[in-house]
Amino acid sequence: MTGSIAAYKTATLVRLLVKAGAEVQVLMTPEATGFITPLTLSTLSRRPALHALEEEGSWNNHVALGRWADIMLIAPASANTLAKMAAGLCDNLLLAVYLSAACPVMIAPAMDEDMWHHPATARNVRLLREAGHLLLPVEAGELASGLVGEGRMSEPEHITGQLENYFKEAGALKGKTALVTAGPTYEPIDPVRFIGNHSSGKMGIAIADELAARGAAVELVLGPSGETPGAGVRVTRVKTAAEMWEACLRLFRGADITVMAAAVADYRPAAPADKKIKKEAGPLQLSLEKTGDILRELGSLKRARQFLVGFALETDDEEIHALKKLKEKNLDLIVLNSLRDAGAGFTHDTNKVTLFTADGQKRALPLKTKQEVAADVVRVIEEALAGH
Ligand code: CTP
């Protein structure tokens, strides 16, 4: 809890959580104690409400607290605490625990409307979202200043509802293992040059993160990409299509879910030079040979309990080509990207896709962030696995 008038509602929030069976450890910023007493919250949570790094000569172990929790909820989160979290400041117990927390973080902001809409707050909220935190929406209504507008903390009943949903979703893929590929491949021409493509790896990484967030053990085979997945994903770095083939064949056997989002080169130089090719008069001919189609190979090896997802990037007759790949490569789901859609495809943060399942369903999604697309794809996988 931080210093905001909405702190008075946390008494109800703690009561609801304890009633629902949660173990609650209250942490307050020093400012929060001016709005509601630690005694009230200690009584409701049945544990001392902590608000100082050091109390009565002993040190509150912030690392242990950050590792103990299944989730850290910051409610109400004032503009000041949001800014400190975004900047990584650490001048009180709550922030020290936040910086050491190994668990997901959910944030319920509360402040006056003008503070909420200030560009500095908007920037901090964006940074915290990018850090993977779950930001609950503020609600509109009467504010402590007497003004009416946006900025009220989400009601305690809404917060507990979000926590329940979170834990339901977080556990949906517990016990499942997943293999995901992402990024481009680089096929060497000589020691300094390669044939590659513009894939950023963002879509596949978003899917790997989403699968991990829902409890799956995720192995990511990642081509040359500047992006990195969250802490819950194991990464095998590869460069070429041949290396990706090898890693995927090794990991596929143990995978319940496989999502091939990488943009794998279809051809590679047949005889890469071992020394740098010098320029000469006249044109240079490169002879290319085919790489192995990893997805097709995995489709042919697939056993009944395994779920295989492919991507298709098409520029024309999109649906016909996607359905053909779905069938020929023995997939359960194909995600179609059309390069004709603005904001979709390689380097963007957004994507517009259509999903086709082997049982004949089609879902055309609007333009969304890659994280939202990942959540939709994983939801379809979950539904299909539940029906298996
Ligand atoms: N893929 C693969 N191995 C390859 C090439 C592609 O596993 N050597 C996978 C991609 O990860 C993607 C899917 O195949 O999931 C579709 O890739 P795409 O390039 O759209 O299709 P291709 O099958 O290569 O056919 P084409 O290039 O003719 O469209």
Alpha carbons 211 and 182: distance in angstroms, whole number: 14
The model's pLDDT over 219-261, given as tens digits with 9 standing for 90+, comes to 999 999 999 998 789 999 999 999 999 999 999 999 999 999 9
Mean pLDDT of the chain: 94
Query: Pick from 359, 386, 196, 172: which is nearest to 291 by CA?
Result: 196
- The model's pLDDT over 267-308, given as tens digits with 9 standing for 90+, comes to 999 999 999 999 999 999 999 999 999 999 999 999 999 999
Cross-strand partners of 195: 187
With a cut of 80, say whether residue 315 has pLDDT above it. yes
Active site residue 165: no
pLDDT tens readout for residues 4-53:
999 999 999 999 999 999 999 999 999 999 999 999 999 999 999 999 98
Tokens found for residue 230: 């969250």
Strand 333-338: give its sheet, edge to edge.
Answer: 233-237, 217-222, 177-182, 257-260, 307-314, 333-338, 353-357, 362-364
Note if the bond before 366 is cis, omega within 30 degrees. no
DSSP string, 302-365: --TT-EEEEEEEESSSHHHHHHHHHHHTT-SEEEEEETTSTT-SSS-SEE-EEEEETTS-EEE-
**Ligand 1 site residues, Cβ closer than 6 angstroms:** 181, 241, 260, 262, 264, 266, 291, 293-295, 310-313, 325
Comparing CA positions, the residue from 107, 132, 120, 87 lying closest to residue 4 is 107
Q: Whose CA is nearest to atom 20 of ligand 1?
A: 312
Query: Cα separation of 369 and 285, whole Å?
Result: 41
Other Cβ atoms less than 10 A from the Cβ of 176: the count is: 19
Yes or no: say if 11 and 40 are a contact pair by the CB < 8 Å rule. Answer: yes
Among candidate residues 60, 80, 197, 330, the one labeled active-site is: 197
Residue 340 has what pLDDT?
73
Q: Whose CA is nearest to atom 27 of ligand 1?
A: 266
Rg of the chain over all Cα atoms, to the nearest angstrom: 25
How crowded is residue 123: how many other Cβ atoms within 10 Å of its Cβ? 13
Ligand 1 pocket mutation, candidates 203, 257, 325, criterion most atoms within 8 A of CB: 325
150-171: pLDDT as tens digits? 999 999 999 999 999 888 888 8
End-to-end CA distance of the chain: 44
Eight-state DSSP code of residue 281:
S
Q: Are 216 and 176 in contact (CB under 8 A)?
A: yes
pLDDT in the model for residue 388 = 57
